[in-house]
Amino acid sequence: MRIVITCGPSYEPVDEVRRLTNFSTGELGVLLANRLTADGHEVFCLKGEAATYAGACNARHQLAFSTNDDLVAQLQRIAAQGNIGAVLHCAALCDFKVKRVQTADGEALTERKVSSRAGDLVILLEPASKVISHLREFFPAARIIGWKYELDGTREDALAKGQKQIRENHTDLCIVNGRAFGSGFMVSAAEATLAEPADKKALTEWASAWLSGK
């Protein structure tokens, strides 16, 4: 099977030297890529340029992405090749991008590198591209798994958001984790729980079995 895995953080530029980004090492995606490659699958591993995990990635195809829009463009090119059987979208992407940088008085700043002597700054943000919303369009026949990492609220809140993600983006499953959920992971379908892997290793084992039809 040909499988696409996204992992690590995206970034959105503030100016040409500063960025907004997320905390994400890319480790889980690389572990998944390595296990599924060992299973005999042809894996495309798309990892954020700022990922810090230094372990080797054994995927046949290894690609780096920068912004959300860059990731969308790369996924579209892979989709054009056809015959993708599964997409595991575990990248930690920016929810917002910079609309404008301005002084406290409202004057827009357009320098390639905003001066540190400009005084107090206001950064106006707008929603960044929602990559998961494109996946079913790009990969209509693939099995698609999204991720939902939640810090606030209860376990039930986190699971409800995972199921909402499935409904809104027409994905097959959602992996829920984060402080709101608690330790480990939950593999959630639209109306049911399929598995509760205790750690990353257990999650890679589950993914291997699920994609092999076991």
Cβ atoms of 58 and 33 closer than 8 Å: yes
The CATH superfamily of 2-211 is CoaB-like (3.40.50.10300)
Helix spans in 107-182 (H):
132-138, 155-169
pLDDT at 214 (0 to 100): 60
CA nearest 7: which of 204, 162, 209, 192?
A: 204
Q: What integer is the mean pLDDT of 26-36?
A: 97
pLDDT, one tens digit per residue, over 149-162 is: 999 999 899 989 99
pTM: 0.92
| Pairwise CA distance, residues 56 & 60, whole Å | 12
| Pairwise CA distance, residues 6 & 84, whole Å | 14
Model confidence at 210, pLDDT cuts 50, 70, 90, reads very high
Domains in the chain: boundaries: 2-211
Beta-carbon contacts of 24 under 8 Å, excluding residues fewer than 6 positions away, are: 7, 8, 9, 48, 51, 91, 92
Task: For tokens 């790369």, name the residue.
Answer: 74
Buried b (16+ CB within 10 A) or exposed e, 17-31: eebbbbebbbbbbbb
pLDDT, one tens digit per residue, over 169-206 is: 999 999 999 998 989 999 999 877 889 999 999 999 99
Helix spans in the chain (H):
27-38, 68-81, 132-138, 155-169, 200-211
Q: What integer is the mean pLDDT of 29-45?
A: 97
| Pairwise CA distance, residues 150 & 174, whole Å | 12
Output the six-digit token pair for 49.
């340029």
Beta-carbon contacts of 107 under 8 Å, excluding residues fewer than 6 positions away, are: none
Model confidence at 109, pLDDT cuts 50, 70, 90, reads confident
**Listed range (65-69, 119-123, 175-179, 198-202) with the worst mean pLDDT:** 119-123
